[in-house]
Amino acid sequence: METLGRVWNRLSIRRPTIATPEPVEEEDDMTPEKTREVFQMFNGTPTRRKSESAHHHRAILNQMENHQPRNATQSPKRQPRISESSMDTPGSSLRRNSTETHVFANRAHLHSDINVPACSSEDDRISTIRRNSLFVKRGSVTMEPIKKVDLEAVYTVNKQLGTGRFGYIKLAEHKQSKHRIAIKFFPRPQTKQTDFVREYNYSFFLSPHQNIIDTYEGMFQSSDDTAYFFVQEFCPRASLREAVEATNQAGIGEANTKKVFAAVLSAIEFMHDENLVHRNLKAENILIFDANDYSKVKVTDFGLTRKVDTTVKYLEYVNNYHAAELCDTVVNEKLVVNKSTDIWALGIIFFYCMKGKFPWQKASIMCKPYWEWEQWLKRKNPALPKKFNPFSEKALKLFKKSLTPRFKDRWSAKDMRKCLVKEKLLKSVKKPDEDYYVMIDTSTKSRPSAASTSNGENQEGAAGGAPATGERKQKSTLQQWISTTLTAMAEISEQVVSARDD
């Protein structure tokens, strides 16, 4: 069993002052596994097997911006080290990591007087350096000292953007560069240093992915010692929660849901490939950068992120996104971290995007809407709960494979992505007057196509075979049908009369 102190000594780096732990409610104990987990991140020692490592390289390369996807048989293309690529960039200062031979970019040259981040998503130059460097992943998980910063001197701190259980986020402007950034604060002494460091490391380590919030390099604490903080890119729009709420319980529609999920599942697939579980997926933690077309969507908040198989202690806190196994757990019960909890949360988010509300409050049989779903799932009741009626067979399969209490039966993020990308998610709904068109069809061959009667975004503008796009056309078709019917009735009555006469 390796103690915290020994790990620091082994890393042979300057040991930061570790704050005396305050009696805060712990989510998980500082087990030897956990200690290793946190501090393995600091020395960058690869813990994966060789095959996993190759897979990781492929995954990270394929998902980095500006990188051509390669097939699995190609060996990872060597990326120029920063030291090489920077030769033609005079003035770029490089810093050598104290524990590793990796060299990675330092943004100190941009703000040489005060070494604090000021980058924003617009800062393409720096983000490209990071996103193109293969070793950023290992470089990013290196332990650095927590620097004291006089907040007022460096930033103009503005309004609060959000608040959570562990801290709060504020909009700020970096005084020197005028960049708008988001600062995530962790109040002291409530926050343990290890929790702060862990969240920063996961956030920074995962940032190169295009659907994960960018976290800028550096861990800080305010000069008055009231909070730790790190800096992230600012999302100028809203979270998915706000976007859905703005629809007044109508949901964001099939096309937008597909866009959101393409981004979110790409991020979660990346995390799961790295054997990391987000554990706090919810609409509030999905940031929408463009409210109009959902073209830029990023996942944030890695405060609960843990490696697969980590043992954590359960806290008494249940939300709409919690899987059935979490809702049945008692306080302080130990749980083993599993990817399937993210899959459940994604199932809930999918329902929420499509319907504008949650399927249930709590995934417990004490909650009637959930109990009804479970009864149907276990075939104890053949009636599908009404709220699932609008969904297509494929979408129902997605629900069955995410919102199942049998966590081993749950899909992977990849399965979910395949289903969401390819399949139609809403049933084609028969319009009330479809029968009328069927009658027309037999006489006038002018029935609208099925596409124009489907529910969802395809309702309007369906192509091919739809005759009655305007009211006028419909009226004339109706007149035609009436006259055909009247003629037919006259013929029939004539035949009846003549038959009677015979």
Ligand X SMILES: Nc1ncnc2c1ncn2[C@@H]1O[C@H](COP(=O)(O)OP(=O)(O)OP(=O)(O)O)[C@@H](O)[C@H]1O
Binding residues for ligand X (CB under 6 A): 161-162, 164-167, 169, 182, 184, 213, 232-235, 239, 280, 284-285, 287, 300-301, 303
Shorter beta-carbon distance to ligand X: residue 56 or 184? 184
Least separation in angstroms between CB 304 and ligand X: 7
Considering the complex, state which of residue 28 and residue 233 has its C-beta at the smaller distance from ligand X: 233
> Which of these is catalytic: 280, 320, 338, 458?
280
From the CB of 337, what's the least distance to ligand X, in Å? 16
Question: How far apart, in whole angstroms, are the C-alpha atoms of residue 343 and residue 339?
Answer: 7
Angle at 350 between CA 348 and CA 351, to 5 degrees: 65
Strand partners, 230: 184
Provide Rg for the chain, Cα atoms. 29
The two beta strands, 147-149 and 220-222, are parallel
Q: What is the torsional sign of CA 267, 270, 274, 276?
A: positive
Contacts of 335 (CB under 8 A, 6+ apart): 311, 312, 313, 314, 325, 326, 329
C-alpha–C-alpha distance, residues 151 and 224, integer Å: 9
- The answer, yes or no, to whether the previous bond of 189 is cis (omega within 30 of 0) is yes
In this structure, are residues 181 and 232 in contact, taking their beta carbons and an 8 Å threshold? yes
Buried/exposed 386-401: b ≥16 CB within 10 Å, e otherwise: ebbebbbeebbebbbb
Using the Cα atoms of residue 236, residue 209, residue 36 and residue 341 in order, give the sign of their dihedral.
positive
Q: Which is nearer to ligand X, 131 or 282 (CB)?
A: 282
User: Minimum distance from CB of 6 to ligand X (Å)?
Assistant: 31
Q: Considering beta carbons, is residue 220 or 234 the nearer one to ligand X?
A: 234
Q: Distances in Å between the alpha carbon of 37 and those of 34, 58, 239, 269?
A: 5, 23, 30, 20
424 is in an annotated binding site: no
21 vs 164 by CB, closer to ligand X: 164
Which has the closest alpha carbon to 104: 135, 62, 76, 78?
Answer: 135
Other Cβ atoms closer than 10 A to 246? 12
CA-angle at 171, arms to 115 and 145, nearest 5°: 30
| Burial of 500 per CB tally in 10 Å (0-12, 13-18, 19+) | exposed
User: Is 332 noted as a catalytic residue in this protein?
Assistant: no
Encode burial over 439-472: b for 16+ CB neighbours within 10 A, e otherwise: ebeeeeebbbeeebbbbbebeeebeeebbbeeee
**Residue whose CB is less far from ligand X, 301 or 342:** 301
Return the number of the residue (22 or 441) whose C-beta is nearest ligand X: 22
User: Tokens 């007022």 — which residue?
Assistant: 152
**Whether the Cβ atoms of residue 413 and residue 343 lie closer than 8 Å to each other:** yes
Q: Compute the least distance from the CB of residue 459 to ligand X, in Å.
A: 32
- Is the Cα dihedral 482, 483, 484, 487 positive or negative? positive
In the complex, least distance from residue 342 CB atom to ligand X, rounded to whole angstroms: 14
Q: How far is the CB of 306 from ligand X (least distance, A)?
A: 14
Query: Min. distance of Cβ 168 from ligand X in angstroms?
Result: 7
* Residues flagged as binding site for ATP: 184
The catalytic residue positions are 280
* Residues flagged as binding site: 184
